[in-house]
Structure formats: structure tokens, C-alpha cells
């Protein structure tokens, strides 16, 4: 089976350094739609240059850096309109020979074994369309996660590719039969990185009324050199941090390098 991975990119350099080599070794096509929704421009942290300078000897990478939301009228999905339009724009570049589309965020990592497991699931069930994977939601560093349910699902990130389909943001479960697996995870560094947390909370500022207070608390932990922290989820204050007891991280990630880069201030 042939796999395409599609990602929205916005100042993702620390993640790209860890994830792009892995994607390149294991996927047939890789699509990036680069756009800073807040500033209405491309990434300015070196993400674009990193992708452009990557040794793409097999011509797998498509970098889209001329996205204009005003030009996109046919789009679908949920959440921020620009993200929906970015998915629609990227959909046009998926090759016809692709069998499976992946759309994990760049801060979401997974084990190589998941790829073969996904192929087996599709081979076994011809009616299967989308696959949902539980998340482990990290915050601050690799030692803290949010205290969500043991199996915490957000939205399916994998779907069977249909030629000429306009894909939506976070709506793969609407395309047909969807299953939830429980034997693999997405290691999701959702609230790791002081600067990206600032941007993320600003982007969703209508829901995060105590945005600056949350950032100040995060920064105080950094300045103290704390390993373990106590902070609430900025959108769901009843959810707190707990220690990540398993402490397993996919082996291809240089976790200390990634966390240090994300938490520079």
C-alpha cells in the first residue's frame, strides 16, 4: 500500500527535525501546507528552509507555501476556517496512486509498527474507511501529561484515500466506517514549547481567557528548572497534569534535543 502524510505547518522546526526523516523513510508522499494563521504569512522559524533543504532524492515532498485562504471556497471539516481551507488546498496535491492518507499534526509522533498495523486493518476489512488512535497528551516536557482517560481519542488521523476527494480538518470519522484502536498511541506534545503555547493560546483566545496567567505559570516552571509541574489544561481547567509513568517515547525522537529547543525563552 502507498501512504501519503499531509501536515499543516506553522513554526514547527523542532518537530520537523525529528519527524521528517522518519516520515521520509516510511511514506511515499509527504505534503506540507505552510501558513501562519495569526500573521497571515509563512513560518519564520526556519521550518520552510528546513523542508526546502531536506535531501528529497526520491521527490516525495510537496511544500505548499503560497496558500491564500481567500482563494479557497470548497472546504469542509471543523475548527478554525483557515485550517479547513488548508486541508482542502493540500488535498489537490495527493497523488492518484495513494491508498492511505495520514494527517497527524507535526507534534504527534507514532511508532513505525503502526504503519504495518494500519495496512493489516485495511487488508482485513474492505469496508474500513478511517482509523482513530488514542493520544498521550504531553505538557511542558516529556515527563508530564494531562490526566485524561487512559484511552483519549480526539479525531481520526488516518483514512482510506479517495481520488479527487477534498479532505476536511478533523472530520475523517464522517467518511465511512471508523474504528478505534487501542494497542498503539499518538505521542502528542500538544502543550510543549513556551513560544508555541503562546501562539496556540492566542489563536484560541476566545476559549482561553486566562491565557497570560497560564503562560506566566509555565515560564516560572522553566526558570525554576522544574522537571514535574502542576498546571491545568488551559481549555478544560478540571484536567490537571500528572507524571508520565510509562516514560516510553518512540526511539527515533531525540527527546532531550526537541524539548530543549521547544522551551527556549
d(CA 178, CA 27): 22
Confidence of residue 255 (pLDDT cuts 50, 70, 90): very high
| CA angle, 204 then 47 then 116, to 5° | 85
Contact 140, 49 (CB under 8 A): no
Residues of the chain with pLDDT > 70, as a percent, come to: 98
Element (H, E) at 22: helix 13-26
Domain range summary for the chain, segments of one domain joined by +: 3-132+153-184, 189-262
Q: What is the pLDDT of residues 76-89, one digit of tens each?
A: 999 999 999 999 99
The verdict on domain 3-132+153-184 having CATH code 3.90.550.10 is yes
pLDDT (tens digit, 9 = 90+) per residue, 187-218?
999 999 999 999 999 888 656 678 899 999 99
CA angle 146, 151, 156 (to 5 degrees): 100
Does residue 152 surpass a pLDDT of 60?
A: yes
Q: Stretch 244-261: mean pLDDT, rounded?
A: 96
Q: What value does the mean pLDDT of the chain take?
A: 96
Among the ranges given (69-78, 87-96, 224-233, 235-244), the one the predictor scored with the smallest mean pLDDT: 235-244
**Percent of the chain residues past pLDDT 90, beyond the cut:** 91
Q: What is the pLDDT of residue 148?
A: 83
Which distant-in-sequence residues (6+ apart) come within 8 Å of 23 by Cβ?
5, 30
**Half-sphere exposure at residue 63, Cβ-oriented, CA atoms within 13 angstroms:** 18
Mean pLDDT of 220-248: 93
pLDDT at 204: 80
Residue 106 Ramachandran class (φ > 0 left, ψ -120 to 50 alpha, else beta): alpha
The pLDDT value recorded for residue 206 is: 57
pLDDT at residue 208 in the model: 66
67 membership: H or E segment, kind and range: none
pLDDT in tens, 13-31: 999 999 999 999 999 999 9
Residue 184's nearest CA partner among 254, 225, 132 is 132
Amino acid at each position: 500500500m502507498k501512504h501519503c502524510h499531509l501536515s499543516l505547518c506553522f513554526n514547527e522546526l523542532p518537530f520537523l527535525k525529528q519527524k521528517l526523516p522518519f516520515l521520509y523513510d516510511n511514506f511515499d508522499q509527504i505534503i506540507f501546507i505552510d501558513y501562519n494563521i495569526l500573521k497571515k504569512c509563512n513560518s519564520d522559524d526556519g521550518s520552510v528552509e528546513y523542508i526546502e533543504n531536506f535531501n528529497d532524492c526520491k521527490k516525495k515532498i510537496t511544500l505548499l507555501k503560497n496558500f491564500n485562504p481567500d482563494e479557497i471556497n470548497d472546504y469542509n471539516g471543523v475548527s478554525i476556517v483557515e485550517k479547513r481551507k488548508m486541508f482542502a488546498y493540500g488535498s489537490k496535491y495527493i497523488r492518484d496512486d495513494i491508498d492511505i492518507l495520514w494527517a497527524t499534526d507535526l507534534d504527534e509522533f507514532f511508532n513505525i509498527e503502526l504503519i504495518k498495523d494500519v495496512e493489516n486493518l485495511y487488508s482485513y476489512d474492505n469496508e474500513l474507511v478511517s482509523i482513530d488512535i488514542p493520544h498521550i497528551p504531553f505538557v511542558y516536557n516529556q515527563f508530564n501529561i494531562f490526566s485524561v482517560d487512559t484511552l483519549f481519542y480526539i479525531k481520526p488521523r488516518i483514512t482510506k484515500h479517495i481520488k479527487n476527494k477534498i479532505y476536511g480538518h478533523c472530520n475523517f470519522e464522517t467518511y465511512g466506517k471508523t474504528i478505534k484502536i487501542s494497542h498503539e498511541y499518538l505521542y502528542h506534545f500538544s502543550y510543549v514549547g513556551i513560544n508555541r503555547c503562546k501562539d496556540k493560546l492566542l489563536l484560541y483566545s476566545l476559549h482561553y481567557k486566562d491565557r497570560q496567567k497560564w503562560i506566566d505559570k509555565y515560564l516560572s516552571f522553566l526558570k525554576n528548572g522544574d522537571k514535574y509541574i502542576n498546571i491545568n489544561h488551559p481549555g478544560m481547567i478540571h484536567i490537571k497534569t500528572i507524571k508520565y509513568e510509562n516514560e516510553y517515547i518512540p526511539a527515533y525522537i531525540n527527546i532531550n534535543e526537541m524539548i530543549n529547543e521547544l522551551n527556549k525563552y
